[in-house]
Amino acid sequence: MKYDKEMYLDSGIYGYGDEDISCHKEKIVKCRKTHECCTCNKEIKIGENALHESGFMDGEVVNAYTCIECIEEWLEESGQVELDEE
């Protein structure tokens, strides 16, 4: 991970605003099985870190895994981090 853990957790990549999500939780996890990134559809392999978000929406359980690379790209594109210009 290129940035502090809190940057990934506070990235706002999903942009939840008006949606009614109850019991919302998010954390950086080391994957114990493969998952598909909900942003780029890349396979997140066993042992890789990912952002896992879960909760309830419209009475249904929702889970989302996002690869670290997608969050880093979002942080950079949204201007939340300063890029070193070489």
Domain locations in the chain as residue ranges: 5-13+24-77
Question: 3-state DSSP call for residue 74?
Answer: helix
Taking 80 as the threshold, does the pLDDT of residue 84 lie above it? no
What are 39-80's pLDDT values in tens digits? 999 999 999 999 999 989 888 998 999 999 999 999 999 888
Check residue 57 and give its pLDDT: 85
pTM: 0.82
Taking 80 as the threshold, does the pLDDT of residue 15 lie above it? no
Give the amino acid at 31: C
User: 3.40.50.150, 3.30.70.1060, 3.40.50.720, 3.30.1740.10: which CATH number matches 5-13+24-77?
Assistant: 3.30.1740.10
Taking 90 as the threshold, does the pLDDT of residue 83 lie above it? no
Check residue 18 and give its pLDDT: 52
Burial of residue 41 (number of CB atoms within 10 Å: 0-12, 13-18, 19+) = exposed
Question: What number is the average pLDDT over the span 9-33?
Answer: 83
